[in-house]
Structure 1
Amino acid sequence: MYPDRVVSGMRPTGSMHLGHYHGALKNWIRLQAEQPCLFFVADWHALTTHYDDPSVIEKATWDMLVDWLAAGVDPTQATMFIQSRVPEHAELHLLLSMATPLGWLDRVPTYKDAIENPAGRDLSTYGFLGYPLLQAADVLIYRASTVPVGEDQVPHVEMMREIARRFNHLYGKEPGFEQKAQDAVKKLGSKRARLYAELRTLYQQDGDDDALAQAKAMLDEAGSLSMIDRERLFGYLEGSRKLILVEPQAQLTAAARLPGLDGRKMSKSHANAIGLREDSKSVTQKIRTMPTDPARVRRTDPGEPTRCPVWQLHEVYSDADTREWAQKGCRSAGIGCLECKQPVIDAVLAEQEPMHERAQPYLDDPSLVRAIVADGNETARKLAQETMRDVREAMGLAHA
């Protein structure tokens, strides 16, 4: 069995805002301390919608990497790399495309939504249709166990699982596999070998998932097995195939939805965002000029916090006492809107202060970022090459 590994990426569409931080980066920062993580800039994916103007991608890539470092992604804990610097992603994408049914691609909900609402872009390209398959290659090439996603991306991970399953079914045929697997069973020792046979029968004849889980746990603990024998026995449990690609699990992220300056979801396209590393004067000015409850025409008019975008930011940034103060003061007209906004301003600036500090060394010396990414590219590529050796061999492409 392959080690647990988290893989996630983002398209470089420019500098990041606080919505990205609360929606994804905070989760990355938590995960990097718990298990091996690979975080990549999905620059090829950016071309699926920006193929007619790729000039923005390079700058956006480096800006985004600095933003990740500023937010707290730690290159000593996580591997940071650029997708296009690991060409094996493209090779696996191509090979997977040979056996992926077309219907699997056009049924993806996000694809259908984008085609129906193209936002003025021509999305009738092979690249856009195939982007879920490239996404699958991005994850499967690292044999990732976990992919942190929002709810809208769960169908993508399910498709990755189907693609891995189909690939293993079609190509997971090792010459003499069954005999090699039986030889590996003997290496477990007589007691474990009997238990393995019993659990395998329970799973294959009765579909007993508990038996499968118990057998896998036993194999994990069997120190006498080589990696290749352990892999064979995992495959033998479920049939007579060698497991080449791992089926990843979706991990739903408890992403906080950070509202924008107008109450809608924070987004650059809505022009309502606060940049991750935006200047403090600009942040202060943006929040001070935010719209508030339209019923408060005059300072003496009482308001209703639930109608006010500022209140939505209080729900994210303020403690219980401050929220109670804001609610009472608004409804009684005891405080003005500028007074109500000040704790939010203070909290946002306090959140951003360490980000500015972490970013500064990389802004002063961009070669530091490039060195981190060069190391990350090398680490990622070694892992990708291991998978591709197995994939090529399984598909009859290991010509020497």
Structure 2
Amino acid sequence: MHPAAPFSQTILTGDRPTGPLHLGHYAGSLQNRVRLQDTHTQYILLADTQALTDNAHDPGKIRKNVLEVALDYLAAGIDPDRSTICVQSGLPALAELTLLYMNFVTVARLERNPTIKDEIRARGFGRDIPAGFLCYPVAQAADITGFGATLVPVGEDQLPLIEQTNEIVRRLNHQIGKPVLLEAEALVSKTGRLPGTDGKTKMSKSQGNAIPLSSSPEMLRQFVRQMYTDPNHIHVSDPGQVEGNVVFTYLDAFDPDAQAVADLKAHYRRGGLGDAVLKARLSGVLETLVGPIRERRMEISSRPGDVFDMLRDGTARARRLTQERMDVLAGALGLFRCA
């Protein structure tokens, strides 16, 4: 399998394989990756090494989910002939780049990164922060520059990571005296982050409020039945609130008939429309979306050897590319290379 000839811009994207992907991933990134693989050179990184920064106690979980996430990619429409899917731990040049870049950034700068500060607070690390976690922005800079990526799809909360990458790039280029490394541009998704089914937090596997892409029809109905709506909409005749109503948020994200959704919102606001009707519609919409993905996933999962072959092939291509870029940078810096 060989992706098509390179386009003018290169995208690097990916996921930490800590569990199967869910609808939040699909809305926020997967559907865009399927679209962008026709117009960009796209690398998709299964960031298993980075996942260990807060899962080092359970490496087996990470190894298992490399396959699970790869299955989700393929089932959602990622084509290994148009996108290179690769595994981070199989790319030693990225680790070498990370070590090199750590000499060009301070601990104080890492601690000031808003994204890292928020994640440290959310995980309750206090001062017991794994060094690998604190240095994640450096590792991400290595990933981005190792692939020569010029576009990196991110949410708005990750913009500080892209800025820190570009700071490292500018510092290295200044040290070398010429632009050996490329700066990257953030490609911010227009789709807002989906809330969890409970309406209280973002959709997250660890919170139990995420709908897996592999959900059965009954699982989908169960998730939708539990969705947060309007607590004051007690009777069907009561006017209801659309804002903050998770069912409407999901209809906005996935229902192809925007006019029908607008009509439902107007009806709900004036009263006379029950939550059960809304949830029945959403269940149908989600099954239409997830059903084909689930079927493709089941078919592909029956051939795990083919999936591992695809990962090996993609990782081998990525290994050659990232090593070439590491060698160019080492030469520009005047580092001694025995090979």
Change (3 A) 1:285 1:141: same
Provide the residue aligned with 1:204 in structure 2. none
Partner of 2:187: 251
Rg bigger for which structure?
1
Aligned length: 330
How far 1:115 moved relative to its partner? Answer: 3.0
Q: Which runs of 5+ in 2 are unaligned?
A: 1-6
Report the counterpart of residue 137 of structure 1 in structure 2. Answer: 142
Amino acid at match of 1:271: G
Equivalent position to 1:263, from 180, 192, 199:
199
CA–CA separation in structure 2 for the residues paired with 1:357 and 1:134: 36
- For the 8 Å contact 2:235–2:274, the answer to whether it is kept is no
3-state SS of paired residue (1:7): strand
Aligned equivalents of 2:103, 2:221: Cα separation in 1: 53
Distance, in Å, in 1 between the alignment partners of 2:233 and 2:283 is 20
Matched residue, 1:362:
300
Distance change >3 Å, CA 308–CA 102, structure 1 → 2? closer
Q: Provide the secondary structure at the position in 1 that maps to 2:280.
A: helix
Q: Any gaps of 5 or more consecutive residues in structure 1?
A: 173-240
CA offset digits 1:181-217 (Å, max 9, x no partner)? xxxxxxxxxxxxxxxxxxxxxxxxxxxxxxxxxxxxx
Which of 124, 129, 148 is equivalent to 1:124?
A: 129
State the alpha-carbon separation in 2 of the partners of residues 86 and 247 from structure 1. Answer: 21
User: Which amino acid is 2:15 matched to?
Assistant: M
CA–CA distance in 1 between the matches of 2:130 and 2:324? 31
What fraction of aligned residue pairs are identical, expressed as a percent?
37
2:253 equivalent in structure 1: 316
Find the aligned partners of 2:273 and 2:128 in 1 and give their Cα distance: 50
For residues 222-256 of structure 1, give each alpha carbon's deviation from its aligned partner in whole angstroms, at most 9, with x where no partner exists: xxxxxxxxxxxxxxxxxxx3432222222222233
**CA deviation map 1:364-387 (0-9, x unaligned):** 111111111111001101111111
Q: CA deviation at 1:338?
A: 1.3
Task: Please list the CA deviations of residues 100-149 of structure 1 after superposition, one character each: whole Å capped at 9, or x if unmatched.
Answer: 33333222112222333433687422212211111111111112111111
- Is 1:91 aligned to residue 96 of structure 2? yes
Residues 297 and 139 of structure 1, relative CA distance in 2, 3 Å threshold: same
Q: Report Cα offsets for 1:269-325 as digits up to 9, x if no partner.
A: 332221111111110122134343222334454433335332222222332342244
Aligned partner (choices 88, 105, 109) of residue 100 of structure 1:
105
Question: What is aligned with 1:397?
Answer: 336
| Aligned mate of 2:54, from 49, 52, 56 | 49
- Cα deviation 1:157-178 (Å, max 9, x = unaligned): 11111212211222x3xxxxxx
Distance 1:248 1:120 in 2: 30
CA shift, 1:333, in A, is 4.6
Partner amino acid, structure 2, of 1:353: G
2: distance between equivalents of 1:282 and 1:11?
24
Q: 2:197·2:227 contact (CA, 8 Å) conserved in 1?
A: yes
Partner of 2:4: none
Contact 2:120 2:126 (C-alpha < 8 Å) held by counterparts:
no
Q: Tell me which amino acid in the other structure corresponds to 2:335.
A: G
In 1, Cα distance between equivalents of 2:244 and 2:109: 43
Letter in 2 for 1:381: R
